Structure 1
């Protein structure tokens, strides 16, 4: 059965204090390399792209931008990756969080079906055991317990928030508004919104997705309906009627992303949540960065976006600053 997060009530929506202003944060899926077109395998644990992480971190740190590094089991069990990330958090603003890739994270009970690669689809006891194993290992490796979580493949489920709260997490960032993974057995976030909300003891910081175009008020419902008509989404995008824009440099042109920021800022969004995958920092490990030219475009995307935030007075927020604002 497809998991669809309940729509938050008005009482659940986060009201940011005035002094917080409008801010942005950056979550990085720090993970192993794997062929995204091939079946998921517990044997795919290479972390060679982490060699590019220090340079990327320097680029962000020089701009005063904190990285929320959401790490998984292959990363936390690789001493070289732990050493790199231990230096990253010495900037005093970046932080280590948790990302659960169910297919590479013990305990292993049996080969996972495709739908079970979404951790929220696992039996409660198995999801809990995998999450507790990873949380304990991260705390041991870095000397502090992680406070933020992202499910690999955005695969939260009906038990996930309760499990996170039981392990003293404060933040989840697994909701990807406007996206539907149900065809592969994953959750459906079509009708989710970009604004932060509370669920039990957890605050959800959705990845920022913005609908742009003259018909943007139709949002996820219209976008879903267009998906049932051949070529309709492309036609609407080209006619500037409706486009779905995620704030990531991965397969998202900078011009479209800048338009999305303008729209969301105009509509009062107070926290922008941007993201990327760590293997994109080295050519050949993701479909988004295949060669040196793609990598140059990747870095140019970030330079342009950060400059745009500066012009708008939208400052970066570290995880610690976000939690302080949340009270």
Structure 2
């Protein structure tokens, strides 16, 4: 995605306190969730544009959703403004969530979300960088539109580009959200003016009345205990990250089929479950269900590989006894005594 003309250090998200971690009840077991960044189609290599609002890929969603439903996996569609104002997209979403476990939440892309008062650039694409009242106005417009379309107040939020800011949790609580998933454990976007999640763990934790459910990142390899700090140090060496990964020393693996090889993802799942992570958070972008919209799915062969990735990952989760968790199940379990 295109960078803006305003760069600088972003919000460094503090590590949660020792008492903030969600203590899941024993009968919750080990679970997984899949959040879908359900958004417009745009050129990922071009500057951001308020005019990019195509949603035709949503017609290709139902057969993909059906594969997940057949495997017992609930999907949470985090929809942004072009999606919620697309009759096609809403018709499709209303149909697929009839599986009884999938849900609709929100995702804020500021550059395509009214009111349009800011310059469209990379810095402002992180919603947390916008003035507080403009953040609130955009979030209110999106939340109310989603509630009208879905017939229910959304409970889950993700900031587009993981653009959370220090004011975000209070705004979400004000609007009745229960879960935020705007943090990407062990990633740092500060070079672009975005947040730094280096101190954020994979475990769910509380921020006031919110449950923070970070997008899961797992370090694998013989030196995985070095984690984010070692990975950051390798990044300062020429080809350091790539060499360490090829040698099986250290790889940073996000739980997504998008640019994450199947073998590495399966190893990351085994590591996460083996180390006791109770809720694994997967993600992908909705335009990836049709070739030609994202860098990850350009051809029919790419789409076949994308679907095979999920088939094998869901089969592995089943073998490991890791079950799908719906949004309502997560909220209910987090509110029960451990």
TM-score (norm 1): 0.99
Instruction: From 265, 271, 281, give the equivalent of 1:273.
Output: 281
Partner residue of 2:243? 235
1:130-183 deviation line (CA, Å, top 9, x unaligned): 001000011011111000000000110110011000001000011111211112
Contact 2:48 2:121 in 1 (8 A): no
Within 5 Å, give how 1:33-52 maps onto structure 2. 33-52=41-60
1:39-87 deviation line (CA, Å, top 9, x unaligned): 0000000001111111111111111111100000000000111111011
- Pairwise CA distance, 1:191: 2.8
Partner residue of 2:160? 152
What is the total number of aligned residue pairs between the two structures?
327
Partner residue of 2:92? 84
Determine helix, strand or coil for the equivalent of 1:158.
coil
Q: Counterparts of 1:322 and 1:236 in 2: how far apart (Å)? A: 36
Partner residue of 1:178? 186
Partner residue of 2:306? 298
Contact 1:190 1:224 in 2 (8 A): no
- Pairwise CA distance, 1:111: 2.1
Contact 2:185 2:199 in 1 (8 A): yes
Partner residue of 1:63? 71
Q: Counterparts of 2:321 and 2:44 in 1: how far apart (Å)? A: 37
Q: Counterparts of 1:323 and 1:91 in 2: how far apart (Å)? A: 19
Instruction: From 230, 238, 259, give the equivalent of 1:251.
Output: 259
Q: Is the counterpart of residue 111 in structure 1 residue 119 in structure 2?
A: yes
Determine helix, strand or coil for the equivalent of 1:309.
helix
Q: Is the counterpart of residue 100 in structure 1 residue 108 in structure 2?
A: yes
Partner residue of 1:196? 204
Contact 1:102 1:116 in 2 (8 A): yes
Q: Is the counterpart of residue 31 in structure 1 residue 16 in structure 2?
A: no
- Pairwise CA distance, 1:113: 3.0
Structure 2: runs of 5 or more not aligned: 1-8
| Comparing 1-10 and 256-265, the one that deviates more | 1-10
Q: Counterparts of 2:277 and 2:288 in 1: how far apart (Å)? A: 28
| Comparing 189-198 and 292-301, the one that deviates more | 189-198
Q: Counterparts of 1:259 and 1:113 in 2: how far apart (Å)? A: 37
Q: Deviation above 4 Å: which 4+ runs of structure 1?
A: none
Q: Counterparts of 2:208 and 2:199 in 1: how far apart (Å)? A: 20
Determine helix, strand or coil for the equivalent of 1:25.
strand
- Pairwise CA distance, 1:103: 0.3
Contact 1:288 1:294 in 2 (8 A): yes
TM-score (norm 2): 0.95
Determine helix, strand or coil for the equivalent of 2:141.
helix
Q: Counterparts of 1:110 and 1:59 in 2: how far apart (Å)? A: 40
Instruction: From 20, 25, 29, give the equivalent of 1:17.
Output: 25
